[in-house]
Structure 1
Amino acid sequence: MKGIPINVKLREGKKKGYNRRLRAKGIVPGILYGADKPPTLIEVDERELNAILRAQAAREHFLVSFTLDSKETSYAFVKEIQHDPIKGRPIHIDLESVSLTRPIVAEVPIEFVGTPEGVKKGGVLSVNLRELAVRGLIEEIPDAIQVDISKLDLGDTLHIKDVKVEKIKVLNEPDEVVASIFVPRLVEEKLAAPTETAKEAPETEAQEKPETKESKGKAKEE
């Protein structure tokens, strides 16, 4: 899991007046904590943060990467961003540090691959999950989990237990539905039509069977 690059700097002051002056300059104050490290006062550029938030609009918590007081890359989850209730601008950010040597829990997007057979036949793909909860080392957790749905036919359902992953553990319930192929009524009626026609065929054939000489002779004898 790579994380979204963001520039994070150490923050010198912590009083309200100092933070207010930072915000006036387009800088968002914040705090970095976790991973058995003492809390650290930080600051990030407001424009850069807003650009990241727009790109991650559908996700509340996501991973970022940065360098702070060393050349080593650090990782952290965005845990909370406070916004101005009137202007909507971000006014504070909380980052939770991630350990590189301990398993973490993360939400990973699902990337569906292929066109389901059922969709080709007129079915509709119904997606129940777009992210999976997983546990593993940060370096082993992928940025997205690819799920092949090309073999899903009409009426088929894909469960968590059908999703194959390596080196990490999926925390969702095994029977939880990931996606399914819904069969519209019109398609269902078309599939049922040949069966009904086949049942009616013998009767129609008997009614339309032409008379033979033998059958005419029997009719005269009667």
Structure 2
Amino acid sequence: MATVLKVERRAVRPRSIRKQLRTEGRVPAVIYGNDIENTTISVSGYELSMSLREGGINGVYSLELDGKKIPTLIRDYQLDTFNRDWVHVEFLAVDMSVETEVEADIILVGTPAGVKAGGILTQNVHSVIVSATPDKLPDVVEVNVEGLAIGDSFTIADIPENPDYKIIAEDMGDQVAAVEEPEIPSEPEDEDAVAAEPEVIGEKEAE
């Protein structure tokens, strides 16, 4: 189910309008795509943050504008470097019956048997592109790694299929994670085993 966000049209000029909007707790934004002309809007920063907690970054957001509701995805956004406040958001209007592609994080679930035996779990790929209709797009792809022993690994192709979405990758053979042998610390040098340095005999003093 799409999360509804009430938005308002906004002026583009003067440039100071953006600063004024942020002072009022509103976020400058834009809607485009799916035969909708680029439309500059603003949205409540508080409502956007609360909706994001519920719907996730890949959730569907139904923007209520001029009495109409437009299904959208958050295509891009900017946050302030210091206080992490919203700076700008891009909403992509979508057709709910047409598949689209987004990036989803890969989350490893469980403790591998190999880690319990002393191995080290490493993760090399942290996200993948997934394709699905907007209402079925996941924020994360969870992979259970409990069965991995020391020396085991799995690739993108090994991620279990999900009926809701399809994983897309240029190389399905890319290694996602592996359980490696633990590093064996080097033995401390045994001082007793160190051979004594030969005595240096100087030249005999002249008589």
Partner in structure 2 of residue 107 of structure 1: 103
Residues 113, 148 of structure 2: 8 Å contact kept: yes
Residues 64, 78 of structure 1: 8 Å contact kept: no
Q: Cα offset for 1:71?
A: 7.2
Partner in structure 2 of residue 150 of structure 1: 146
Amino acid at match of 2:166: K
Q: TM-score, normalised by structure 2?
A: 0.70
Q: Cα offset for 1:34?
A: 1.0
Q: Cα offset for 1:79?
A: 1.4
User: Residues 185 and 86 of structure 1: is their aligned pair in 2 closer, same or farther, counting only changes over 3 Å?
Assistant: closer
| Greater strand fraction, Structure 1 or Structure 2 | 2
Q: Cα offset for 1:145?
A: 2.1
Residues 108, 145 of structure 2: 8 Å contact kept: yes
Partner in structure 2 of residue 129 of structure 1: 125
User: Residues 164 and 47 of structure 1: is their aligned pair in 2 closer, same or farther, counting only changes over 3 Å?
Assistant: same
Residues 63, 78 of structure 1: 8 Å contact kept: no
Partner in structure 2 of residue 40 of structure 1: 39
Partner in structure 1 of residue 114 of structure 2: 118
Q: Secondary structure, in 3 states, of the residue corresponding to 2:184?
A: helix
Q: TM-score, normalised by structure 1?
A: 0.66
Partner in structure 2 of residue 184 of structure 1: 182
Whether 1:76 aligns to 2:36 is no
Amino acid at match of 2:40: L
In structure 2, distance between residues paired with 1:91 and 1:114: 37
Q: Cα offset for 1:10?
A: 2.0
In structure 1, distance between residues paired with 2:46 and 2:133: 31
In structure 2, distance between residues paired with 1:146 and 1:67: 29
In structure 2, distance between residues paired with 1:46 and 1:33: 20
Q: Cα offset for 1:125?
A: 0.8
Q: Cα offset for 1:14?
A: 3.1
- Gapped regions of structure 1 (runs ≥ 5): 188-222
1:78-100, CA deviations, whole angstroms, 9 ceiling, x for partnerless residues?
413275x8987544322222321
Partner in structure 2 of residue 140 of structure 1: 136
1:10-49, CA deviations, whole angstroms, 9 ceiling, x for partnerless residues?
2243322544432332212211111221222221223455
Residues 109, 130 of structure 1: 8 Å contact kept: yes
| Greater helix fraction, Structure 1 or Structure 2 | 1
Whether 1:159 aligns to 2:171 is no
Residues 123, 176 of structure 2: 8 Å contact kept: yes
Could you tell me which of 3, 8, 11 is aligned with 2:9?
Answer: 11
Residues 103, 130 of structure 2: 8 Å contact kept: yes
In structure 2, distance between residues paired with 1:41 and 1:74: 16
User: Residues 91 and 72 of structure 1: is their aligned pair in 2 closer, same or farther, counting only changes over 3 Å?
Assistant: closer
Q: Which moved more, 1:22-31 or 1:176-185?
A: 22-31
Q: Secondary structure, in 3 states, of the residue corresponding to 1:14?
A: coil
> What is the CA RMSD across the aligned residues, in angstroms?
3.2
Amino acid at match of 1:42: I
Residues 4, 64 of structure 2: 8 Å contact kept: no
User: Residues 147 and 73 of structure 1: is their aligned pair in 2 closer, same or farther, counting only changes over 3 Å?
Assistant: farther
Partner in structure 2 of residue 218 of structure 1: none
Q: Secondary structure, in 3 states, of the residue corresponding to 1:139?
A: helix
User: Residues 80 and 67 of structure 1: is their aligned pair in 2 closer, same or farther, counting only changes over 3 Å?
Assistant: closer
Q: Which moved more, 1:113-122 or 1:36-45?
A: 36-45
